[in-house]
A and B are shown apart, each in its own frame.
Chain A
Amino acid sequence: MTMVETKRLFLTTPLGEATICARCGACNAVCCTHREQEWESTSPRGWLTMLRGLASATGRLSDIPPEFVQRVFNCTTCGKCGQACPAHIDLRRLWLELREEIVDRGLAPGFVNQVKEVVAGEHNVFDFPNEERAEWVEFMPDAPDHRYQKEKAEVLYYVGCVSSFSAAAQGIPRALAKVLEESGTDFAILGGEEWCCGFPLMAAGLKREAQSLIEHNKERLAALGARTVVFNCPSCYHMWQHEYGLDGTELLHHTEYLARLIAGGRLNLGKIQETVTYHDPCDLGRNSGVYEAPRDVLKSIPGVALVEMLHNREEALCCGGGGDFEMLAPAMTQKIATRLVQEAVDANAQRLVVACPQCKRVEISGVEALKSDVRVIDLAELILESVRSAGDSKEDAGGANGPI
């Protein structure tokens, strides 16, 4: 609906693209993990140089040394390298394919097996019992008796692992569920029948292992009969868009769905007198082309003043938490997040609005590191606040139907 055309990127073969690489270093200049480490071996250009060095006379990869393996997993898969590449190389896909090759050769770092076992066992990346996936609903005293789990619904709200299990992110599904309810949307969640979307496996080089998860989720979608799927996690959204092969099913990120509800007059928004900035999550913005829907939503909230950070839209900074990177290097993830939060501080924003549960978790840690007053909030949570503010105003005026 509000997607813009993303830069056209190419991927022939990893070795082919490594030769096409102009060696200019535009990727190095924007790489968030390289910025924290600075050695050429930690840079995208450095990896392509190594890749060329590993090409045998037959044009195939020879032995892959462990140092190289370690570097290739030292990446958030944010895609900013490809966005900057003047030769239009789809570097994000290239890194993912390389990881697959490394896994196929049995050279994967230890955490890959952990991810594989955890997701295979519990169908979520947190290693929690999957039947607890909808536990966030239990903290909603006014939730309906069906707990949003229905046999049939027009809309599937696919919650995702991070929002389901991470305490720092569970406010997002609670807010979104309330907002969907308020708008009169006929929606359902899958609860324990929702399985991981598969992205953590893709990011670990385990694309094939993701297939059973994909098939399961597709079956559940078919059983529910929903024609629309709404996601609050950009990585789940991107995964469904590119790997699920669904025809005739509308896939929308919650920023898009909220924009639609607001444009259709289905939400009554009240005043929030705040200066906010918006962080484009990598898998929603740069990698999916959704930039304007969240901004349209923010601009529709009375009283909200939207200011942009230095890096926004396709040039937005990565939070540091993607591509399984936080599992490998949590301290560096926080450093990367701190740079991002600093931009929100520099923009004089009171709130840093995100549209991704992982960004929210990680950016909260960045705020703590900076000891900043900026408050991190997901767009769904801000909209719920605005809806409640409208409700309060009505109540004050004596015309309210009670709190949401």
Chain B
Amino acid sequence: MKQLLELLGDRATASPFETALYQSDLAAVPPFLSRALFQTRPDIVVRPRSTEEVASVLRYAELHSVPVTPRAAASTAYYNAVPARGGILLDLNGLRGIISVDRERETVTVLAATRWKELDDELRHKWGLAVRSYPTSAPASTVGGWFNMEGWGVGSLKYGAVDSQVIRAEAVLPGGEVTELTPNSDPPLSWFAGSEGTLGVIISLELGLRLAPVVESHHLIAFADYAILQEAAARMARLDPKPYHLHFADSTFTRSIKRAGFETDLPIDKHLLSVHYQGSRAEIEGAETPIARIVQQTNGKELGSGLAVEEWRNRFSEVRAKRAGPSLLGAETLLPLKSLARYIGSVRRLGHRVRLPIYTYGAVVSPDWCQTNSFFPSDERRTWSYLAALSVTKSLQDRAARQGGRPYGVGVWNTPYLSRVWRGSERRERLRRKAHLDPHGIMNPGKLYAAPFLLRPAFFGLGMSALALFRQLIHSGEKR
């Protein structure tokens, strides 16, 4: 490691005080558990500021067979950017900012650790352009990070997942080779989308943009029944022009927000669908009649425009429900839109059975798919009951799977469900890519491709069943 300390100078540290802070992400995992399974503390943290420095670190890592974990915002929840086997933590936050904007072609070349919101703000302010889609974690999460995940979020319904906006990227491959990735390069750009930092390090990306929208419109519709909400959502997702964003939340979500201490005039006994349009005036005006027709035909109740705007403004703050926790547990999934109502119904029944206020919200990300988030309050400070509650997260994943859904994001914690993420040949293809580009297995090891021993489905299933029993036991004395 001495070589790295010399190479990066005061931008490298092996100080235990510092390295301890790179052992976590959004997931609140009791340290005794995460440290029993993985070596989460990196041996060294380095902060490169250029492609050359990243290449030097990766060359060193391959030469000495040291694991490398790339990380910037670390705003995921599955340890995607947390070391599983120690080694080098490659903190990419120094690679931040716009490199160039092509106003004619409506594209931007941007460093990978640039935050989505800061990128969008600057594009709008200086060039009258805007990103096409962004994650609901846009204030925190990075362009490179979202590309490394699957990249569904706000604007996906209209513009697709983030990979459809990436034109090319600069990457450093394991071993230190710098390469330009395009749809036709070898390896192709598509290999890196959703690869969770396991194939190399993305340095910069060229993204397709849109003209900053002139007008916005926001509608918020309340439904007594989530089956009808699903029908309305499916019809709206097929409108032409498409809504920019289509968001749903069940009534338990609104109750959770209130329980967390936020005042709102939203009805607590209704399920909500919000429809957000952005674009030209003609586009917005043209959408009004079809939306009104769908609302009427589905017996929805359109709420006031003030509440609709409030919903839009809160699109980055869904986690505020955590105030009622103080912790949250749950499952993020991708689900066929046609199964949304059955899934919500199933989750609500589960919530009733396990006596937890499990809420579900999410976005329709294509005419056929939605991204759902089902969460419930918990308290990580009460270790045993928190661990016991983990069994409920598996029940949520199982319910989504029964409806044709799968986990959204893998990292380490969703590796028990890998067979749901990739079917037969796709998994083999992913493993082939990994072996081809990273034969020594140094890039973000322990993630995405295989479950560690104790998370293998058989052990994991047994463990979760035991936790479920334990949970029943510790709650058996409580009144319903």
B91 in contact (CB, < 8 A): yes
A28 touches B323 (CB 8 A): no
Name the residue of chain B whose CB is nearest to the CB of A39: B18
B394 in contact (CB, < 8 A): no
A38 touches B115 (CB 8 A): no
B126 touches A41 (CB 8 A): no
Q: A26-B140, A39-B13, A40-B22 are in contact. Are A19 and B326 (CB under 8 A)?
A: yes
B322 touches A10 (CB 8 A): no
Name the residue of chain B whose CB is nearest to the CB of A24: B140
Q: Which of A82-90, A165-173, A237-245, A248-256 contacts B (4 or more CB under 8 A)?
A: A82-90
Which residues 44-69 in A have Cβ within 8 Å of B in the complex? 46, 49-50, 53, 55, 59, 65, 67
Which of chain B's residues have a CB closer than 8 A to the CB of A23? 24-26, 28
Q: In the assembled complex, how far is the CB of residue B82 from the closest CB belonging to chain A, in whole angstroms?
A: 11
B322 touches A20 (CB 8 A): yes
Q: In the assembled complex, how far is the CB of residue B116 from the closest CB belonging to chain A, in whole angstroms?
A: 10
Q: Mark B31-72, 1 if CB is under 8 A from A, else 0.
A: 000000000000001010000000000000000000000000
Give the docked Cα–Cα distance between A29 and B120 (Å).
14
Which listed residue, A10, A59, A67, touches B323 by the CB 8 Å rule? A10
A86 touches B24 (CB 8 A): no
A22 touches B380 (CB 8 A): no
Interface centre among B21, B22, B94, B379 (most CB of A within 10 A): B21
Which of chain A's residues have a CB closer than 8 A to the CB of B137? 24, 26
B320 touches A86 (CB 8 A): yes
Which listed residue, A16, A46, A310, touches B125 by the CB 8 Å rule? A310
B21 touches A41 (CB 8 A): yes
Give the docked Cα–Cα distance between A13 and B381 (Å).
15
Which listed residue, B18, B75, B261, touches A40 by the CB 8 Å rule? B18
Q: A20-B325, A25-B74 are in contact. Are A84 and B139 (CB under 8 A)?
A: yes
Which of chain B's residues have a CB closer than 8 A to the CB of A39? 13, 18, 45, 47
A29 touches B118 (CB 8 A): yes
Q: In the assembled complex, how far is the CB of residue A26 from the closest CB belonging to chain B, in whole angstroms?
A: 4
A41 touches B94 (CB 8 A): no
Which of chain A's residues have a CB closer than 8 A to the CB of B121? 310-311, 315
Which of chain A's residues have a CB closer than 8 A to the CB of B75? 24-25
Q: In the assembled complex, how far is the CB of residue B476 from the closest CB belonging to chain A, in whole angstroms?
A: 25
B126 touches A310 (CB 8 A): yes
Give the docked Cα–Cα distance between A50 and B21 (Å).
8
B309 in contact (CB, < 8 A): no
A138 in contact (CB, < 8 A): no
A8 in contact (CB, < 8 A): yes
B140 touches A28 (CB 8 A): yes
Q: A59-B381, A87-B322 are in contact. Are A38 and B26 (CB under 8 A)?
A: no
**Mind listing 26 A-B residue pairs with CB under 8 Å?**
A10-B323, A19-B379, A19-B381, A22-B26, A22-B319, A23-B28, A24-B26, A24-B137, A24-B319, A25-B74, A26-B137, A29-B139, A30-B139, A38-B91, A38-B94, A39-B13, A39-B45, A40-B18, A46-B21, A49-B24, A86-B139, A87-B322, A88-B317, A310-B122, A310-B125, A311-B121
Question: Lowest 6 CB-CB distances: which A-B pairs, in order?
Answer: A40-B21, A26-B140, A26-B139, A19-B326, A86-B317, A25-B140
Q: What residues of chain B have their CB less than 8 Å away from a CB belonging to chain A? A: 11, 13, 17-18, 20-22, 24-26, 28, 45, 47, 73-75, 91, 93-94, 115, 117-118, 121-122, 125-126, 137, 139-141, 261-262, 316-320, 322-323, 325-327, 379-381
